[in-house]
Structure 1
Amino acid sequence: MELMRRGKKGLFTHKRPVPTRYREIEGRAYVWTALHTDARAEALQKARAIVFLQDAQWEAALAKQTVKASALYAELRTLAQAMGFAYLPEADVADLPDKEFLQRVEAGVAGTASECAAVLGAAEVPKLLLSGLFDAYAGFVADKIRKKDAQQLRKWRSPRLRAVTNLIGVIGDMPVQEITRQHALTFRAHWWSRMQSEGRSAATGNHDLGNLSSMVSEVCMKQGWDMANPFLRLWFEPDGERRPAFSAEWISSKILAPGALDNMSDEERAIFLVVVNTGARPSEIINLLPERIRLDANIPHIQIRAEGRTLKNKYSSRDVPLLGVSLEAMRAFPDGFPRYRTFGDWTDHATGHLRDSGLLESDKHTAYSLRHSISDRLLNSGCQDRVRKEIMGHKPEKMIYGEGSNLDTKLAALAPIALV
């Protein structure tokens, strides 16, 4: 991402080379966009949003190239179904048994020109190249992702695009309808080779295989293609490794030692400390709105809600008491952390700071291990399983009744394990 200062006021401009995929649509080698700010942090934030918007506009322009063929096919398929026939391309109609072929001919002759075209398969099934798979999939699941914020959309989009790009790198940009089980097995073998030669985890390959399977399945279903999903049941056996939790002793003696977190900014450090005694996901803390930070309540607490974004699951909407270092950190930022809402992956950034300061208990630990820590501390303190899961925002294992634990109950569970 290239930022340049221009003009007498030194305002930033974003210069971006046009990706090869969009050259025919855009016509320019580079796109220059004025950002109207002299602050680098604000310029970077604007530039990221512009890149996302440009990609969306270019993809929409690409889609228009095939809209006529796709629209004709969809129209004739719907018409054929209304007449009692499954839509088949012309070549497949010609291969039908004589009786079925004549039924279609008779229906076509007796109907309108469009009905004749529908039953005799005048439109070929549009080929969907792998490079267009993600956009087709995104269109079909638009209702499911509409409430995600920009950061969540980026995290949702990136692994799926990466899976498609990886597959194209192995089998080429071929039509989705022509992908066979052998192609999928070739891709699986590619990942197995990387696991052996590069030490990559099974989870990484499984992410690609799982995302491809779900995208192909959704597109096939919504397009009405009679095609078996070639990526089904190809996952690798999981490595069985879990992200470890920080021990309470390590947090108290190392992480909370005076000056230990000085290489973090004040806000980043506060987010980190709020996690310590709440176990809330970092993204849930970062996206707290001021009115959801209830420091004036009888029991100070935070209210985690789906506002302007989605939560991981319906059980994530919850109230969590604030105690010890978490309460003090939240008091320092009573309006929340708007700076970090579009920051990117906070966990990776905070983990880097911990690593630089020698504060990771092992090379398997990350900043997210704080959340695992409080789950373990609650479990080992004898906390009821339902209360622990309601504090963590986990799905209960059994059917539940009633409203669940209140703040008093959660406070009683957290108080004995809270770190100060």
Structure 2
Amino acid sequence: MPKNSKTPGLKLRGTVYYIRVRVPVAYADIEPRKEVFRSLDTSDPVVAQAKCANARLALRLEWDAARAAEKADVRAVFDSSTELLRSWGMTFSPMKDLLHGEIDQLLERIEKIANIDPSCATVPALLGAVDLPDHTLSEMAERMPELKKAEIRAKNARQRREWCGNFTRAAKDFAAEIGERTIMTISEQDATNYWEFWKKRAREDVTPNYANKQIRYVRQMIAAHFEDIRMPVSKRVNPFKGMSVSKNAYDSADNERSKLSLPEKWIRNRLVGGRILEPFNQEASDIAIVAAVCGCRASEIYDLPAEDIHLDDPIPHLSVRVVLEGPDVREIKGASSKRDIVLLGPALDAMRRHPKGFPRYRGKASYSGNVNNFLRENRLFPELPADSEGKFVISGTRHSFEDRMKVAKILNEERAFMMGHSIGKVRGRPVYGSKLALPLRALYQEMITFPTESWVPRPRAFLRKEIDRLLEEQGHLLE
């Protein structure tokens, strides 16, 4: 390569190549010089050309760090400094680690300083003297949506609000019980005290499951901070690791919060046949009917985008799936919840009244609470059994759906397929092979769907023979 290289700003001085960079106007307040010359520490023209882009990037990162330092922005100084270190193939290490580490690594960093203005904010970063960014739990709760953006991209407005609320509440509870702390100052004793607080609450007024969730949210915020500042895994000491509240042998709170199966006669004659929710509103009534007949979670119905409603299909059905794009993004409970829900009898009639879905409730959180309040205020729920310690809520129709499948002698794994439960958990081992086909789902659904004036399910014995026939057609040996 000739002395006057075609690479802009690359100059040969004696036997060493330099980069010449004109200072952008945007950095004129940080860098007093008009131009900066920097040695590339090589006389090899090919190496010099390769180093050129990195050298330009390093200068910009130094200026960014200097600006952050001028504003006393600890986070910005750390980010820009660590980016600069990465461009040099280095990572941030605290000074004590550098002093006790290999001497060659320390000397390499000192050599880099020789080419940098000693007053530059990146010099302390090279020597591990930059303060690590730190945040209170309250600040972390606000940052979690950004830090976990990829994980929550499928959540709709309601799901995102509930997700964020979990961390906000956990941060508030921690501050109220232990005091305001930053992530890096939460001690093992603080964690132990908070753990004891929730163990006591679990014996008095909350379930162990709820207590464990509150501990987990704090643990997740600490882990997210460590990941965010790129702390080496070996240095990440989460004081909440391994902490959980054991389930009590007898937990009265569990009984108080248990959801009872709604009685079969009430669902058939009042909710579906009598359509007792129509005075409240038509959408709520038909959501409840579909949920009761098909055993879905209510949110699986009211969050449906219009394109997932297939009323003109040879087997009318709803598709429960994750939606990542568009106005109707939504997340589902788990991978096993992805399934087709067959529409027959009253459920099909209800969906035909709403071929585009349920805009009144889509992406919102008002359905269950409002429906339960309406049923209670108007004394429309059935009478509780005399020995019951639970309560009736509209989501109890899902438990009733499983009860109907048991009466119809539908096997445990078949029930799991229909309800969107994990077959792996039912079996206690991984599941291989294809999922239940839509025609088979339709036959199982027909066994437990209520008749209407215009439609009556075929006898269960006939449906069982049809199931066997379809399975044999697929090559399965049933005897």
Pick one of 104, 116, 134 that aligns with 1:127. 134
Matches within 5 A, 1:31-110: 68-80=73-85, 87-89=92-94, 92=96, 96=100, 103=107, 106-107=110-111, 109-110=113-114
Q: Is the 8 A contact 2:259 2:392 kept in 1?
A: yes
Q: Distance in 1 between matches of 2:266 and 2:243?
A: 40
How far off its partner does 1:86 sit? 5.5
Q: Distance in 2 between matches of 1:66 and 1:169?
A: 32
Pick one of 238, 245, 252 that aligns with 2:247. 238
Aligned-partner residue type, residue 134 of structure 1: A
* Percent identity of paired positions between Structure 1 and Structure 2: 25
Show the counterpart of 1:382: 409
Show the counterpart of 1:164: 171
SS in 2 for 1:273: helix
How far off its partner does 1:340 sit? 1.0
Aligned length: 353
SS in 1 for 2:355: coil
Gaps of 5+ in 1: 1-64
Aligned-partner residue type, residue 331 of structure 1: R
How far off its partner does 1:275 sit? 0.3
Indicate yes or no: 2:285 matched with 1:279: no
Q: Deviations over 1:148-190 (max 9, x none)?
A: 2212211211112111111111222221111012112222233
SS in 2 for 1:145: coil
Q: Distance in 2 between matches of 1:131 and 1:386?
A: 44
Indicate yes or no: 2:134 matched with 1:112: no
Show the counterpart of 1:228: 237
Show the counterpart of 2:445: 414
Aligned-partner residue type, residue 420 of structure 2: G
How far off its partner does 1:98 sit? 10
Show the counterpart of 1:405: 436
Show the counterpart of 1:211: 217
Q: Distance in 2 between matches of 1:263 and 1:100?
A: 79
CA, structure 1 residues 324+238, in 2 after alignment: closer, same or farther (shift >3 Å)?
farther
Pick one of 158, 162, 183 that aligns with 1:155. 162
SS in 2 for 1:277: helix
Aligned-partner residue type, residue 442 of structure 2: L
Aligned-partner residue type, residue 367 of structure 2: W
How far off its partner does 1:137 sit? 2.7
Q: Is the 8 A contact 1:247 1:373 kept in 2?
A: yes
Q: Is the 8 A contact 1:255 1:359 kept in 2?
A: no
Q: Distance in 2 between matches of 1:204 and 1:143?
A: 26
Q: Distance in 1 between matches of 2:101 and 2:262?
A: 69
Larger displacement relative to structure 2 (94-103 or 216-225): 94-103
* Structure having the higher Rg: 2
Q: Distance in 1 between matches of 2:400 and 2:220?
A: 33
Q: Is the 8 A contact 2:261 2:392 kept in 1?
A: yes
How far off its partner does 1:124 sit? 1.0
Q: Is the 8 A contact 2:322 2:331 kept in 1?
A: yes
Show the counterpart of 1:322: 343
How far off its partner does 1:287 sit? 2.0
Aligned-partner residue type, residue 289 of structure 1: P
Q: Distance in 2 between matches of 1:130 and 1:376?
A: 44
Relative to the length of structure 2, the TM-score reads 0.65
Pick one of 158, 168, 181 that aligns with 1:174. 181
Q: Distance in 2 between matches of 1:222 and 1:380?
A: 52
Q: Deviations over 1:367-398 (max 9, x none)?
A: 22212221332244232444433322223213
Matches within 5 A, 1:329-408: 329-356=350-377, 357-359=379-381, 361=384, 363-397=390-424, 398-402=430-434, 404-408=435-439
Q: Distance in 1 between matches of 2:175 and 2:361?
A: 34
SS in 2 for 1:165: helix
Q: Distance in 2 between matches of 1:107 and 1:349?
A: 68
Q: Deviations over 1:182-233 (max 9, x none)?
A: 1122222333343445x22222222211111122112212323333112222
Show the counterpart of 1:295: 311
Q: Deviations over 1:269-291 (max 9, x none)?
A: 11001101111221121122334
If each structure's helix is expressed as a fraction of its own residues, which one has the higher value? 1
Cα root mean square deviation, aligned = 3.2
Gaps of 5+ in 2: 1-69, 324-328, 425-429, 452-479
Q: Distance in 2 between matches of 1:321 and 1:382?
A: 19
CA, structure 1 residues 93+214, in 2 after alignment: closer, same or farther (shift >3 Å)?
closer
Q: Deviations over 1:82-138 (max 9, x none)?
A: 767663445x46974896896477445545346643332242112212221123332
Aligned-partner residue type, residue 282 of structure 1: A
Q: Is the 8 A contact 2:317 2:340 kept in 1?
A: yes
Larger displacement relative to structure 2 (389-398 or 358-367): 358-367
Q: Deviations over 1:301-359 (max 9, x none)?
A: 22223332222223333221112322222222222211111442422222223333251
Relative to the length of structure 1, the TM-score reads 0.73
